[in-house]
């Protein structure tokens, strides 16, 4: 019986790989992918959530008259002779009749109340300001501005004056609030003790 022989074929590391591209099959058909159509986004209308109705089919001044607006914003500065190329359409005439005294326009009821945002002095800036105050005192603003070791951001004398005044005002307000809270707590304790004493006597 012939002996089965195993032949090992070793790839030579110096031989380059074949760079010929495989031939494309002639039976492959390209499929066209339909691109999604872009959707038009409607422009937001400021009167969508308002009690007022703005009719886009009418003219601007007709809407102004219906809404009760007295002046056209495009006529601002029309009386100045220095403006060139400006032609106001309404010539400064009122769009609607003047309203009686005490009349409140619907837009006034829709305007939110003004909110004041109080920004506190950050904790990191407070550390720098307190270090400058401890080193130079309350009246050494010029020395604070020239102190490059502590005042690393090189704040000016005017800036340091404003920030120190704001920090001291915040400290005073915080101390007053703490004192008021302490007084209220003491009053509650006194009233509770008086009520407990009255209950024991009865």
8 A C-beta contact, residue 141 and residue 129: no
Rounded CA-CA distance 118/177 in Å is 16
Q: Which residue has the higher pLDDT, 24 or 179?
A: 179
Q: What is the pLDDT of residues 140-156, one digit of tens each?
A: 899 999 999 999 999 99
Rounded CA-CA distance 80/76 in Å is 9
| pLDDT over 60 at 123, yes or no | yes
Query: What is the per-residue DSSP string for 136-188?
Result: H-TT-HHHHHH-TTT-TT---HHHHHHHHHHHHHHHHHHHHHHHHHHHHHHHH
Rounded CA-CA distance 184/164 in Å is 30
| pLDDT over 90 at 130, yes or no | yes
Q: What pTM does this model have?
A: 0.45
Q: What are the extents of the domains in the chain?
A: 49-100, 123-196
Q: How confident is the model at residue 199 (pLDDT cuts 50, 70, 90)?
A: low
Q: What is the pLDDT of residues 102-120, one digit of tens each?
A: 777 777 777 777 788 888 9
| Degrees, nearest 5: CA angle 184-186-189 | 110
| pLDDT over 90 at 56, yes or no | no
For 132, the enclosing helix (H) or strand (E) is helix 123-136
Q: How many beta carbons lie within 10 A of that of residue 145, not counting itself?
A: 19
């Amino acid at each position: 019986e012939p002996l089965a022989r195993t032949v090992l074929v070793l790839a030579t590391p110096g031989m380059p790989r074949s760079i010929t591209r495989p031939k494309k099959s002639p039976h492959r058909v390209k499929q066209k992918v339909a691109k999604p159509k872009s959707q038009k986004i409607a422009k937001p209308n400021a009167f969508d959530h308002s009690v007022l109705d703005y009719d886009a089919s009418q003219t601007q001044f007709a809407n102004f008259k219906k809404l009760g607006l007295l002046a056209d914003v495009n006529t601002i500065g029309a009386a100045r002779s220095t403006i060139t190329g400006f032609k106001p359409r309404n010539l400064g005439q009122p769009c609607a009749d003047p309203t009686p005294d005490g009349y409140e326009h619907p837009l006034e009821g829709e305007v939110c109340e003004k909110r004041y945002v109080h920004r506190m002095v950050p904790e990191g800036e407070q550390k720098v300001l307190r270090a400058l105050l401890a080193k130079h005192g309350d009246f050494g603003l010029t020395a604070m501005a020239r102190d490059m070791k502590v005042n690393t951001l090189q704040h000016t004398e005017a800036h340091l004056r404003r920030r120190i005044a704001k920090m001291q005002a915040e400290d005073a307000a915080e101390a007053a609030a703490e004192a008021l809270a302490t007084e209220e707590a003491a009053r509650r304790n006194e009233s509770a003790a008086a009520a407990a004493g009255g209950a024991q006597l009865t």
